[in-house]
Amino acid sequence: MYEMGCYEISLGDTIGVGTPGSMKNMLDEVLKVLPAEVLAVHCHDTYGQALPNILIALQMGISVVDASVAGLGGCPYASGASGNVATEDVVYMLNGLQIETGVDLDKLIDAGNFICTAIKRPNMSKVSCARSKC
């Protein structure tokens, strides 16, 4: 795909079963044939491993991470799989690593709470739940 002109290749754990060890092993192999600057990761949080997996990817030079406000989304072909990692949780982690995102976390939390109320879905962000009522 890279040779065909794709500017970004996203490596997805769409059912959320990856672990930091499997993320590292996969990226070790992929980085042998592709530069980190064309890679992205897409981690679902079914087993609570999305943030550790993203941290491994960041440590290995990946700088593009998919996330969704309040962890909304899901996997239509994997019953029981949770949604994407919550953007609020990723931003909180990045702030803790002193990685500048330009995202106002409080406004992001407000947006997540607003959309969850509007669509009557639970907010899956741990950061949002810690800072406000879920």
Task: Please identify every residue annotated as catalytic.
Answer: 75
* Token pair listed for 130: 């810690």
Q: Across the chain, which distance is largest between two alpha carbons, in Å?
A: 48
Alpha helices in 12-69 (DSSP H): 20-30, 50-59
C-alpha pair distances (Å), 101 with each of 13, 20, 87, 92, 105: 23, 23, 11, 10, 10
Both tokens assigned to 103: 């995202």
